Amino acid sequence: MSHSGFDHLSRAALAALLPELLLCGQLIDRSGLPHAIAAFGRDGMTAIAIEEWQLASPVYTRRMQRALGFVGDDVATIFKGLQLDIGAPPQFMDFRFRVEDRDHGEFWLDHCGALMDVEPMGEDFVVAMCHTIEDPTFDATALATNAHARIRPIHRPPRRPADRHPMCAWTVTIDPANAAPPAPRNAELVAASAAAGIELGAIDTDDEGRADYRGPLLSDLRFADFSKSALVRIADEVCLQHHLLTLGFMIAVRSRLGADAASASAADTASGGACGVAAVTGGGNAAGGPSEGGGAMRLGRKHFTGIAGISSERIRAALGLGADPAALAEVLRLHPAWNPLPYTGVEITQTSDAVLLRIPHRSDAVADRAWPAMIDPDHLAPLDAMARGVNPRFVTRVVATDAHGWTVEMALAPQPFREATEVTLTRYSTGASFTFTDRGIPLPLTVL
């Protein structure tokens, strides 16, 4: 098995961490879209949200199906994919399912954290999310399983009455008469990325616990039932979902700016990986590291800063870690920004009173222009936010740089720092403080 940043965790710790990784993936939008609204207005933000999910979700849905052995073309397969999708983190986006037969089913949301976030913003934002965004993005997720699948509303917000439950309900129908839609603009860029094609370690089928998701659809996924080997692979796949969604977000942003992204630099092309993604998400410098990248890169860094801090905070709390350098080193090892390790190539070491993070100039993540490509020795705000999610006294400074990469030290300062505005903006989501509960043994959902 290829090395994973999650290998050292116990099976119980991995089971506790996985819902957090899924939820942090959903909060990526809460981090990025406020800045998209500021730059492009509500309509522009809506268009970006549609494009990022359309580009990313079919890629990562198919990856998870292959990893856990539930490749298929029926409604139950679509529902299984939703249970392992950062767009539908368990309980926060409380999907409930009914399977009528292989081609027909329904789902509804007993709780929708995303709706809780936007209802206070007014009906226009609710319609943008629950109508304009959901229609094409739900279909994009279903089409990853079957090109003839369609998801259509039974009812959805704005809620009438205001406390209506379930919050929304949808039908899923597979019909050969449904013509397969054309691929979204720029779909090939994410599909051809290094993140889309990277190979991760196989699941050890002899490991104790469930090694796959073959068999019946379950009412809930109880991650504690999976083997440690399976949980490691799921965690790495979920982190790839974060990166793929970010690639989609940046492609959508740059295409609307007309960007400094018209072409990749020769250094990007030579660095390997997904040259097509690099061409849209920005050029690099002669060492293969990120350039300033104009407005799109500035927006991307704000996006990264907000989710970096909230993710650290939630990982630390979920595992009951402290606030010292040892806790920070552990959070960094598990942070979605740095996983899977074969994709990012980062190195994390702990000294007696600090943590060192080594970021290579060349990696698949840098070639893709994912999160590691958004920082450099002159732009450390996401790293500061990440560290201060563990302890507000941490400060980051560059201690070494060479032809192969650069190293930052994260150490405690005498006084705490004020929270970054980008983190505060992300915190408006109810997901930032959401608490998971134990729902007991899940039930198989058989055809009625």
Q: Is residue 439 part of a domain?
A: no
Q: Is residue 187 part of a domain?
A: yes
HEC-encoded secondary structure of the chain: CCCCCCCCCCHHHHHHHHHHHHHHHHHHHHHHHHHHHHHHHHHHHHHHHHHHHHHHHHHHHHHHHHHCCCCCCCHHHHHHHHCCCCCCCCCCEEEEEEEEECCEEEEEEEEEHHHHHHHHHCHHHHHHHHHHHHHHHHHHHHHCCCCCEEEEEEECCCCCCCCCCCCEEEEEEECCCCCCCCCCCCHHHHHCCHHHHCCCCCCCCCCCCECCCCCCCECCCCHHHECHHHHHHHHHHHHHHHHHHHHHHHHHHHHHHCCCCCCCCHHHHHCCCCHHHHHHHCCECCCCCECCCHHHHHHHHHHHHHHHHHHHHHHHHHCCCCCCHHHHHHHHHHCHHHCCHHHHCCEEEECCCEEEEEEECCCHHHHHCCHHHHCECCECHHHHHHHHCCCCCEEEEEEEECCCEEEEEEEECCCCCCCCHHHHHHCCCHHHHCCCCCCCCCCECCCC
Q: What is the pLDDT of residue 443?
A: 85
Q: Is residue 13 part of a domain?
A: yes
Domain of residue 87, residue span: 1-215+222-429
Q: Is residue 208 part of a domain?
A: yes
Q: Is residue 292 part of a domain?
A: yes
**Could you read off the pLDDT of 125-154 as tens digits, one per residue?**
999 999 999 999 999 999 999 999 999 999
Do residues 425 and 79 make contact, with C-beta atoms less than 8 angstroms apart? Answer: no
Do residues 273 and 368 make contact, with C-beta atoms less than 8 angstroms apart? Answer: yes
What residue ranges of the chain have pLDDT lower than 70?
Answer: 1-2, 259-294, 447-448
Distance CA 226, CA 397 (A): 40
Sheet holding 168-174, edge to edge: 93-101, 104-112, 168-174, 149-155
Q: Is residue 438 part of a domain?
A: no
pTM attached to this predicted model:
0.92
Do residues 313 and 389 make contact, with C-beta atoms less than 8 angstroms apart? Answer: yes
Number of structural domains found in the chain: 1
Q: What is the pLDDT of residue 2?
A: 58
Taken in order 201, 204, 207, 213, is the CA torsion positive or negative? Answer: positive
**Could you read off the pLDDT of 61-76 as tens digits, one per residue?**
999 999 999 999 999 9
Q: What is the pLDDT of residue 448?
A: 55
- Pseudo-torsion of CA 223, 230, 209, 75, nearest 10°? 60
Q: What is the pLDDT of residue 331?
A: 98
Q: Is residue 244 part of a domain?
A: yes
Q: Is residue 440 part of a domain?
A: no
Distance CA 118, CA 33 (A): 12
Q: What is the pLDDT of residue 381?
A: 98
